[in-house]
Every structure is written in structure tokens, then in C-alpha cells.
Amino acid sequence: RHPRKIPRTVIYHPPTTTTTPPISTVEFDIREIVCSKDWSCQEAMHVAYCESRLNPGAISPTNSDGTRDYGLMQVNSGAWGRPVFGERWDRVLDAQTNVDMAWHIYQTAGNTWQPWTCKP
């Protein structure tokens, strides 16, 4: 995966007085979930966009180690799956649950994006 520039309309909700079309309701809801944590909203949105294109139902192809990455923030099943998150893993494709898991991972990594392929 190669980091890509995230469109400005995904990071920022444009003012209603501009001629720029507003972001979709789904993208706005995802932004609200992603930006609810105490990390840089812009960085987190970049990671979410780069990892899943803001798709909470994204599931990666099988990785070389047999694991897969799930959801909005592409949480890895091997490093962070059921052994870490228990029954919550059953809801990994729920946007809020996935972001909660990503927040835990982010904090565990010393408040860095080190565990992700896509970095801001």
C-alpha cells in the first residue's frame, strides 16, 4: 500500500456557504467517529482513508502471515484479534467498535501510527 493524499473534503466539513459540495452523510458520520478520539483528526482521517477508503466493511486480502486486516482502520486479526479484544472482535466491522480498537492500538503504540501501513 502506498499512502495517498486524502481529499480535503474528507478531512474537513466544508462550510455550507461555499459552492463545494458537502461530504456525504456517511463520510461525515465516519469523520465524527474517527475524530472523537484524542488523536489528530487529520492524521486519523488520513490513516482511515488510506487503509480502507473510509469503508467500515473493508477486509483485506490474506496477508503473507495468514492474517487479515478488518474495518475502517484495518485492524489486524493476528496481532489484535480475539486474543486482545475478545467478544468485541465479533463487531470489528462496526465503525465505532473498529475506531475504539484502533484507539487502543494507537495508545498501546505510544500514541503513534507505528502499527499501521499507512502513516500520516
Closest CA to 28 of 38, 43, 14: 14
| Separation between Cα atoms, residue 113 and residue 45, nearest integer Å | 12
Describe the crossing of helices 95-108 and 25-34 by its angle, rounded to 10 degrees.
30
Tell me, rounded to whole angstroms, the distance of Cα 96 from its chain centroid. 10
With contact defined as beta carbons under 8 Å apart, do 75 and 92 qualify? yes
Residue 13 or residue 85, greater confidence: 85
For residue 72, what pLDDT is reported? 96
Q: What is the pLDDT of residues 30-85, one digit of tens each?
A: 999 999 999 999 999 999 999 999 999 999 999 999 999 999 999 999 999 999 99
**What's the pTM?**
0.78
Could you report the per-residue pLDDT of 93-102, keeping only the tens digit for each?
A: 999 999 999 9
